[in-house]
Amino acid sequence: MPFEIIRNDITDLKVDVIVNSCDPNPVVGGGVDLMIHQKAGEKLLSSRQKRGVLRAGETFISDAYELKAKYVIHTVAPLWIDGLHNEEELLKKCYQNSLELAKSNDCSSLAFPLIATGSCSFPKDRALSIAIREIGSFLLKNEMDIYLVVFDKTSFVLSEKLFKNVKSYIDDNYAKELKTRYQIKRFRSPSFDNIEFGSVALKEDSLEELLDELDDSFSKTLLRLIDESGKKDSDIYKKANVDRKLFSKIRNNPDYQPSKKTALAFAMALELDP
């Protein structure tokens, strides 16, 4: 079958090329972008830096280094605003340009994530319809084994409605575990030559180390994120199941060092998932 929708970790697929939905700037983003960079190794970031800034819909190809794939196609997804700013056309370009680039590099198999449905907030139903339509149009004239890799349950349920024989390789518990492991934070990583990550996933088992590397204190960063969320302080600390007394202590102490549990509670309350 030349086109399948599967539920899997895209970084584990042995195909000629996997598509990475990357940040416009040459930094490592969150979600799939981070997972791909972690498994590919530092050379992938070097390739991304040599290419420089990309605009929405643009693509380029690089080696996959330590991934099971041969190549990685990097494409910049459009940020969803309201559907009136050319978002759908730009998302179509992501698929069209990626497919043509794979074809020109003699790739016979390719795997896409569901582009733009993470931090870009593209509605999943629209994104899925665009993906299926563009891939289908390409396969009418070309031969290639193409996989659309969906991960979260919402996308999987949507794809099941369109395709009866969708394969599931990852159960809900594993998906939930990975989602918990990858929480967005900003920090500088010495393992990537102090390049600032754009939207970096936070591994639970190294949370304390990453907190130590934040440019601002935990207290200052937390208050800034609450302000950016547009919500009241009380909305966030109640959602994090933190009492007012502890929150007051955090607010008034710039040097406050949170426990792992408290930091994760605030990350989830702020909905910092990729």
3-state SS, 92-122, equals: HHHHHHHHHHHHHCCCCEEEEECCCCCCCCC
**Looking at residue 216, what is its pLDDT?**
57
192-209: b or e for each residue (b if 16 or more CB lie within 10 Å)?
A: beebebbbbbbeeeebee
Residue of 33, 125, 205, 255 marked active site: 33
The first and second tokens of residue 82, run together, are 């309201």
Rounded to an integer, what distance in angstroms lies between the CA atom of residue 110 and that of residue 119? 23
The first and second tokens of residue 254, run together, are 């710039």
Rounded to an integer, what distance in angstroms lies between the CA atom of residue 201 and that of residue 199? 7
The string of DSSP letters for 138-182 reads HHTT---EEEEEE-SHHHHHHHHHH-TT-EE-S-HHHHHHHHHH-
**Looking at residue 204, what is its pLDDT?**
40
Residue corresponding to tokens 């990537």: 192
Residue corresponding to tokens 């970031």: 45
What φ, ψ does residue 109 adopt, rounded to 5°?
Answer: -145, 140
Tens of each residue's pLDDT in the chain, 274 residues: 488 888 788 999 999 999 999 999 999 988 889 999 999 999 999 999 999 999 999 999 999 999 999 999 999 999 999 999 999 999 999 999 999 999 999 999 999 999 998 888 898 888 988 998 899 889 989 999 999 998 666 555 665 655 544 444 434 544 555 555 444 333 333 333 333 333 333 344 444 444 444 445 777 788 878 877 778 888 888 888 888 888 888 887 777 778 767 877 787 777 764 4
Instruction: Please state whether 234 falls in left (phi above 0), alpha (psi between -120 and 50) or beta.
Output: alpha
Does the active-site annotation cover 33? yes
